Amino acid sequence: MESIDLRGVSCPLNYVKVKLKLEELGFGQELEILLSDGEPIINVPRSAKEDGNKILEVEKIDDYFKVVLKKG
């Protein structure tokens, strides 16, 4: 599984980076994203779903979140 660490990256730049990473992946591949609390954990999963991807997991780890999505 591919992974991208976007802790400390603000909106909307973090989702731009997610979209660029998703372009490298094939349909159905999974991407693990590490995000800061606040706007990123709200906006990135929502935008990913709106673009046709599936959110498989959202887990809070200390002061950040791990999101796993499947490219749709």
User: Is 13 labeled as catalytic in the residue annotation?
Assistant: no
Tell me phi and psi for residue 61, to 5 degrees: -130, 110
CA pair distance 52, 55, nearest whole angstrom: 10
Q: How many folded domains does the chain comprise?
A: 1
Model confidence, pTM? 0.95
Q: What is the mean pLDDT of the chain?
A: 97
Write a three-state SS string for 17-69. HHHHHHHHCCCCCEEEEEEECCHHHHHHHHHHHHCCCEEEEEEEECCEEEEEE
Q: Which of 11, 25, 34, 55 is catalytic?
A: 11
Q: Which domain holds residue 32?
A: 2-70
* Mean per-residue pLDDT, 8-20: 95
pLDDT in tens, 35-54: 999 999 999 999 999 999 99
- Coil vs helix vs strand at 15: helix
The CATH code of the domain that includes 6 is 3.30.110.40
